Each structure stands twice: as structure tokens, then as C-alpha cells.
A and B are shown apart, each in its own frame.
Chain A
């Protein structure tokens, strides 16, 4: 992992088009600004990981034979 030290209002540039700026530091809380091209998704890692894990479970479950009647019963009507 590349490790850099930055002060408040300093930035790093990734690949010439992504800017990560340190906006404010308050004890263990760091406020970060990210300026990236629209098509580059930027998410908090814990949310990304949670949804990714859920997607993997869903994809895995789709490979099992879905018992149709059982599943249909679970629909809110």
C-alpha cells in the first residue's frame, strides 16, 4: 500500500483525473473530498462490501432450484 502524509486542504491525484482532498481533520474523524469522473463509482467500503456479499449470496442462491410454490407464498399480496 502506498502511504502518503497530507495536511488539511492538500490533495492527491490518481491517474490524472481523480482528486482526493483532505478537507478537515478532527481527532479520529477525517473529512475527505473526492472528485472523480462520473463513471467511476465511489462508495464507502463497508456499504460496498455489504451489498457485494449480499449479491454473491443471491447469485449463489439463484443456482439452487427455487421451489416455486414456497417462494410464491412469501409474496406480500
Chain B
């Protein structure tokens, strides 16, 4: 098991959060849950939407709004199963970037999925939507702005 923690720094600025470089290509060998056939995604940064980014499907017309967890909650810690660690080729938690999928609701509220985060290995470029070992403690629809 490998624990990845996303904590705010002493200065409290989420801007210190690790970000994936613009235009990075993420390869989800297993797709996302329910979207198993869509594997190749590109991270698109829109300055107007920052710190949200678009995870844009390259093999399908399918995009997701994503956000680093440090903009969502104070402390976010996920315990990765050994299988996920192996499939991501993760050797060091520092090589991992975590992003969470946001849903923009009809009433213009936004909720963020903390239960099924996306983990990206910056070294191997492998990405996965994982169900962390501590998923039972994590919200599927964390309301933003609270």
C-alpha cells in the first residue's frame, strides 16, 4: 500500500500544489470507470477556468472537468492498493499527481469526486482512476464552495 498525501503548505496556498504540465498526455490503460474504452486523454489548461483543467479525450469526444484536490479540501490522503501502485509503476509518492473529477450541475453548483480519484505517474505517464483503500471515508460528491 502506498499513501499519497495532498496537504496545503504552511503558507496555505494551493498554488503550491503539484500540477501536470499543460498538454500532458495521460494514458489510462483501463479507461475510466464506465468509460473503459477511452484510454488516451490530454490535459488542457484554460486560464479562464484555472485551477480547473479539462481532461480531454483523444480517442473519443469525451471531456471531464478536473481539479487538484488541494483546491477542494484541506487535507486529502489516499491509500493506493498494491495492484494500483504496480499498474501505475509508482516507486515514489512524489512521482504521482492526483486529480479529481468535478461535476458542473444544472443549478451551477459543483461537486467533486474524492472517492474515485485519478492518479498520474509523471515518470511513466500511466494514469488510472483508482478506488483507494480508504474510499469508504471519501465523498463521491463533495460540494465546492463550502
Residues of A bordering B, CB below 8 Å:
38-39, 41, 43, 47-48, 50-59, 61-64, 66-68, 70-77
The reply to whether B34 and A71 contact each other, CB–CB distance below 8 Å, is: no
Apart from A47-B135, A55-B32, what 8 extra A-B contacts exist at CB < 8 Å?
A43-B33, A50-B115, A51-B129, A53-B34, A55-B64, A61-B103, A62-B63, A73-B145
Q: Is B4 an interface residue (CB 8 A)?
A: no
From DSSP, what is the main secondary structure of chain B's interface residues? loop
The reply to whether A59 and B64 contact each other, CB–CB distance below 8 Å, is: yes
- One of B18-26, B90-98, B106-114 at the interface: B106-114
The reply to whether A51 and B71 contact each other, CB–CB distance below 8 Å, is: no
A77 in contact with B87 given A68-B49, A71-B104 (CB within 8 Å): no
Residues of B bordering A, CB below 8 Å:
14, 29-30, 32-35, 48-52, 54, 62-65, 67, 71-73, 83, 86-87, 101-106, 108-110, 113, 115-116, 129, 131, 135, 140-141, 144-145
The reply to whether B115 and A58 contact each other, CB–CB distance below 8 Å, is: no
Contacts of B110 in A (CB 8 A): 71, 74
The reply to whether B108 and A75 contact each other, CB–CB distance below 8 Å, is: no
A62 in contact with B104 given A56-B34, A68-B48, A76-B72 (CB within 8 Å): yes
The reply to whether A74 and B144 contact each other, CB–CB distance below 8 Å, is: yes
Contacts of A58 in B (CB 8 A): 64-65, 101-103, 113
When the two chains form the complex, which single residue of B50, B54, B87, B105 contacts A61, counting CB atoms closer than 8 Å? B105
Contacts of B145 in A (CB 8 A): 73-74, 76
Contacts of B102 in A (CB 8 A): 58
CA A61 to CA B106, docked complex, whole Å: 8
Closest to B116 in A: A51
